[in-house]
């Protein structure tokens, strides 16, 4: 198969949702329909048990189990699907953001009872930053949920994206009878069954035919005709380019637990979703079809085996063909590495692979050479852009408790930051260090791992900080003046970029007004 054919058959996407909307269930059902697993319950997901949320050891255990399901690849109807799992737990939101940089499109699950929830709003913002095409799956139609029109309105207003329903529910909850496909004018009737794996579609040649009344009842048929006429009038046919540009989200309705609507979603997804797309290396857009291999690391999983400090770096292939055993250029370290071990992820199994193509995710065994954002090429210099750090929410100062172990503490902190567990900010004045995270949990993780893996001990003292703002200015003199006047509040991030550590919202506003020539950024890429 040629490189172009290999690319054309691949689809790399992630499923996002607020916890409990049904991401795990949908993932599992997609794998069942794809034939990658044989029975439900076989996949342990990245889902973190809410009961365990204060017990991070338990969470680490669950994360360990979930490595194999971080990426699930399977073949379906001639396509190779790479499905990337994203942790639902909000304390691991950064992990999810980074995973989204490695996908070409997203399926967003919304609970029809709860509607759009906060975590989905945040994730959608990340999708919008990169114009990632989004399909929405409204789940749990077997329950009494909100009116479907209200749900569409809510997606449009809360997620700031236009919607385009491709299926429409007939009833809901107790009266749920199935969905009518506006995309291919067919009817899928609902039976509540967690076992049954077929989803039959009956083509409806004429929506006004009495056949429809027989199938779903007179009143329901009348209502459906009215809905379809209205929806056709408002939305018309879907322009796939609007979806591919990330401007319009096609919407499906279903019930994942009952295997309903899942096949319709999968089949339509394969027809409209994007092939692996290009990525920007420094300033240059690299096309997947370029002959030379390149890729970037978007996730690092440590503690694969507690006895050895080995890690697995997840790399997305961006262009060309990856071949195991080749020497590839590590652009940050400016040297070549021979990649002798690489794994692919097939549903629950990991297997050694010899080659991979754009869109594929491969796992590279790592003894500390990689950090998030690292780029491998066949010689070209530069870094794949698009993996920004976001301003953390919680900050603590690191206080070394054991002066004899200063080196270990520094090494430990630096490696944990490479993995993206948290962000470290080094203050310009004195040697103060602030660690920033999105959730409390990370501090427990860091403290435990520093002690157990590096023999270092540190306290993390709460700091009164609101945001870390990356700063820049067109006029270097203005930047120098700003730094001089705010010296105590200036730090550097892991790449040496300047950051203004703002203590409160009000103070930040005041500083912004007093120094309007400074640009304040809430992500590290601008
Ligand atoms: P998440 O990964 O997004 O956090 O959600 P998950 O799939 O774990 O689903 C959350 C809960 O919603 C689960 O119930 C799951 O069974 C249920 N669920 C998923 N899809 C549907 C659906 O189509 N209809 C209905 N009624 N429920 C659905 P749970 O009680 O939390 O867990 P479990 O004991 O069933 O596993």
Domain-embedded: residue 109: yes
∠ CA 474-475-479, nearest 5°, is 100
Domain-embedded: residue 89: yes
Please return the burial class of 19, using the count of CB atoms within 10 Å of its CB with bins 0-12, 13-18 and 19+: middle
Domain co-membership, 239 together with 341:
no
State how far the Cα of 268 lies from the Cα of 275, in Å rounded to an integer: 14
Tokens of 132: 């990632």
Tokens of 71: 């990426």
Domain-embedded: residue 196: yes
Domain co-membership, 205 together with 349:
no
Is the Cβ–Cβ distance between 322 and 362 less than 8 Å?
Answer: yes
What φ, ψ does residue 209 adopt, rounded to 5°?
A: -70, 150
* Strand (E) or helix (H) holding 310: none
Domain co-membership, 284 together with 200:
no
In 3-state terms the chain splits into helix, strand, coil percentages (rounded to 5) of 30, 30, 40
Domain co-membership, 355 together with 422:
no
| 142 Cβ inside 6 Å of ligand 1 | yes
Cα(156) to centroid(ligand 1), Å: 25
Cα(23) to centroid(ligand 1), Å: 8
DSSP result, 24-47: HHHHHHHHHHTTS-SSTT----SP
Atom 6, ligand 1: which residue's CA is nearest?
22
Is the Cβ–Cβ distance between 315 and 82 less than 8 Å?
Answer: no
Atom 35, ligand 1: which residue's CA is nearest?
257
What is the arithmetic mean of pLDDT over 118-128?
Answer: 86
Q: Which of 62-71, 115-124, 161-170 has the lowest mean pLDDT?
A: 62-71
**What CATH number should be reported for the domain holding residue 306?**
3.40.50.300
Tokens of 508: 């930040």
Beta strand pairing status for 10-17 and 105-111?
parallel
Indicate the DSSP class of residue 403: G
Atom 7, ligand 1: which residue's CA is nearest?
22
| 15 Cβ inside 6 Å of ligand 1 | no
Distances in Å between the Cα of 151 and the Cα atoms of 7, 24, 165, 451 are 35, 21, 11, 48
* Strand (E) or helix (H) holding 479: helix 476-485
Domain-embedded: residue 237: yes
With a pLDDT cut of 70, the percent of the chain lying above it is 90
Banded pLDDT at 53 (limits 50, 70, 90): very low
In this prediction, residue 48 carries a pLDDT of 46
Q: Is the confidence at residue 29, as pLDDT, over 50? A: yes
Q: Which of 56-60, 131-135, 174-178, 359-363 has the lowest mean pLDDT?
A: 56-60
Q: Is the confidence at residue 67, as pLDDT, over 60? A: no
| 311 Cβ inside 6 Å of ligand 1 | no
Is the Cβ–Cβ distance between 347 and 385 less than 8 Å?
Answer: no
Q: Which of 54-58, 120-124, 187-191, 418-422 has the lowest mean pLDDT?
A: 54-58
What is the chain's mean pLDDT, rounded?
88
Q: Which long-range contacts (CB under 8 A, 24 or more apart) does 419-422 make?
A: 419/300, 419/301, 419/302, 419/311, 419/371, 419/372, 420/94, 420/95, 420/98, 420/299, 420/300, 420/372, 421/445, 421/446, 421/449, 422/392, 422/446
> Domain count of the chain?
3
Domain-embedded: residue 384: no
Domain co-membership, 492 together with 409:
yes
What is the arithmetic mean of pLDDT over 190-208?
Answer: 81
Residue where a domain terminates, one of 225, 243, 272: 272
Mutation to probe ligand 1, out of 16, 18, 25 (largest number of atoms < 8 A from CB) = 25
Tokens of 97: 């953001």
Domain-embedded: residue 387: no
Domain co-membership, 329 together with 465:
no
∠ CA 474-476-477, nearest 5°, is 120
DSSP 3-state of 463 = coil
Distances in Å between the Cα of 518 and the Cα atoms of 496, 498, 512, 513 are 18, 12, 8, 10
Please return the burial class of 123, using the count of CB atoms within 10 Å of its CB with bins 0-12, 13-18 and 19+: buried
Domain co-membership, 369 together with 350:
yes
Q: Please, how many CA atoms are within 13 Å of residue 446, restricted to the half-sphere of its CB?
A: 30
Q: Please, how many CA atoms are within 13 Å of residue 177, restricted to the half-sphere of its CB?
A: 17
What are the pLDDT digits (tens) for 389-431? 888 989 999 999 999 999 999 999 988 888 888 999 999 988 8
Please return the burial class of 113, using the count of CB atoms within 10 Å of its CB with bins 0-12, 13-18 and 19+: middle
Banded pLDDT at 269 (limits 50, 70, 90): very high
Q: Which of 45-59, 355-369, 382-396, 408-422 has the lowest mean pLDDT?
A: 45-59
Look up the domain containing 139 and give its range: 3-272
Residue where a domain terminates, one of 346, 377, 408: 377
Cα(140) to centroid(ligand 1), Å: 8
In this prediction, residue 28 carries a pLDDT of 87
Banded pLDDT at 63 (limits 50, 70, 90): low
In this prediction, residue 336 carries a pLDDT of 96
What φ, ψ does residue 74 adopt, rounded to 5°?
A: -155, 160
State how far the Cα of 487 lies from the Cα of 480, in Å rounded to an integer: 10
In this prediction, residue 102 carries a pLDDT of 95
Domain co-membership, 350 together with 468:
no
Atom 30, ligand 1: which residue's CA is nearest?
20
- Residue 167's CB: how many other CB atoms inside 10 A? 24
* CA of 25, closest atom in ligand 1: 7
DSSP 3-state of 409 = helix
In this prediction, residue 93 carries a pLDDT of 73
Tokens of 301: 């999983």
| 47 Cβ inside 6 Å of ligand 1 | yes
Banded pLDDT at 512 (limits 50, 70, 90): very high
Domain co-membership, 165 together with 212:
yes
Is the Cβ–Cβ distance between 156 and 149 less than 8 Å?
Answer: no
Q: What is the CA 323 to chain-centroid distance, rounded?
A: 26
- Residue 165's CB: how many other CB atoms inside 10 A? 26
Domain-embedded: residue 476: yes
Q: What is the CA radius of gyration of the chain?
A: 25
State how far the Cα of 133 lies from the Cα of 241, in Å rounded to an integer: 10
Cα(71) to centroid(ligand 1), Å: 21
Residue where a domain terminates, one of 272, 303, 320: 272
Domain co-membership, 417 together with 373:
no
| 259 Cβ inside 6 Å of ligand 1 | no
Is the Cβ–Cβ distance between 186 and 224 less than 8 Å?
Answer: no
Indicate the DSSP class of residue 274: P
Domain co-membership, 238 together with 285:
no
In this prediction, residue 36 carries a pLDDT of 77
Domain-embedded: residue 383: no
**What CATH number should be reported for the domain holding residue 431?**
3.30.70.3280
Domain co-membership, 222 together with 301:
no
**Considering all CA atoms of the chain, what is the largest pairwise distance in Å, rounded to the nearest integer?**
84
| 88 Cβ inside 6 Å of ligand 1 | yes
Cα(50) to centroid(ligand 1), Å: 13
Tokens of 281: 């290396």
């Amino acid at each position: 198969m040629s490189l172009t054919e290999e690319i054309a058959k691949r689809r790399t996407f992630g499923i996002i949702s607020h916890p409990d909307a049904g991401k795990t269930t949908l993932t599992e059902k997609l794998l069942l329909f794809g034939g990658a697993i044989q029975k439900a319950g076989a996949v342990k997901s990245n889902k973190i048990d809410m009961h365990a949320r204060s017990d991070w050891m338990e969470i680490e255990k669950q994360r360990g189990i979930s490595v194999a399901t971080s990426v699930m690849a399977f073949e379906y109807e001639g396509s190779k699907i790479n499905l990337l799992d994203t942790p639902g737990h909000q304390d691991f939101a950064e992990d999810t953001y980074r995973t989204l940089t490695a996908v070409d499109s997203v399926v967003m699950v919304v609970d029809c009872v709860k509607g759009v929830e906060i975590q989905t709003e945040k994730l959608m913002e990340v999708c919008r930053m990169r114009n990632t095409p989004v399909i929405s799956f409204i789940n749990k139609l077997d329950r009494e949920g909100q009116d479907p029109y209200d749900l569409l309105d809510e997606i449009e207003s809360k997620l700031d994206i236009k919607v385009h329903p491709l299926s429409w529910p007939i009833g809901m909850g107790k009266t749920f009878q199935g969905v009518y496909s506006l995309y291919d004018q067919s009817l899928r009737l609902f039976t509540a069954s967690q076992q049954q794996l077929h989803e039959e579609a009956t083509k409806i040649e004429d929506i006004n035919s009495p056949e429809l009344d027989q199938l779903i009842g007179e009143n329901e048929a009348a209502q459906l005709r009215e809905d379809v006429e209205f929806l056709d009038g408002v939305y018309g046919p879907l322009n796939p380019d609007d979806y591919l540009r990330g401007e319009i989200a096609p919407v499906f309705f279903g019930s994942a637990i009952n295997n309903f609507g899942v096949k319709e979603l999968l089949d339509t997804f394969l027809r409209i979703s994007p092939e692996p797309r290009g990525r920007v290396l420094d300033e240059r857009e690299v096309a997947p079809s370029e002959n030379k291999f390149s890729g970037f690391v978007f996730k690092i999983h440590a503690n694969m085996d507690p006895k050895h400090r080995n890690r697995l770096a997840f790399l997305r292939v961006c262009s060309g063909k990856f071949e195991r055993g080749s020497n590839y250029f590590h652009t940050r370290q400016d040297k070549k590495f021979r990649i002798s071990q690489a794994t692919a992820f097939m549903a629950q199994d990991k297997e050694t692979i010899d080659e991979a193509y754009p869109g594929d995710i491969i796992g590279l065994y790592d003894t500390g050479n990689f950090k998030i954002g690292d780029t491998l090429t066949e010689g070209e210099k530069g870094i794949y852009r698009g993996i920004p750090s976001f301003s953390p929410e919680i900050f603590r100062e690191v206080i070394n408790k054991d002066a004899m172990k200063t080196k270990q503490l520094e090494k430990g902190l630096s490696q944990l930051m490479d993995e993206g567990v948290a962000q470290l900010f080094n203050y310009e004045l004195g040697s103060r260090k602030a660690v920033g995270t999105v959730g409390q949990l990370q501090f427990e993780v860091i403290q435990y791992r520093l002690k157990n893996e590096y023999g270092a001990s540190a306290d993390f003292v709460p700091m009164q900080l609101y945001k870390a703002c990356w700063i820049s200015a067109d006029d270097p003199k203005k930047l120098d003046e700003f730094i001089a006047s705010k010296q105590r509040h200036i730090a550097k991030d892991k790449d040496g970029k300047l950051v203004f550590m703002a203590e409160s919202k009000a103070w930040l506003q005041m500083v912004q007004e007093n120094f309007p020539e400074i640009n304040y950024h809430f992500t590290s890429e601008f």
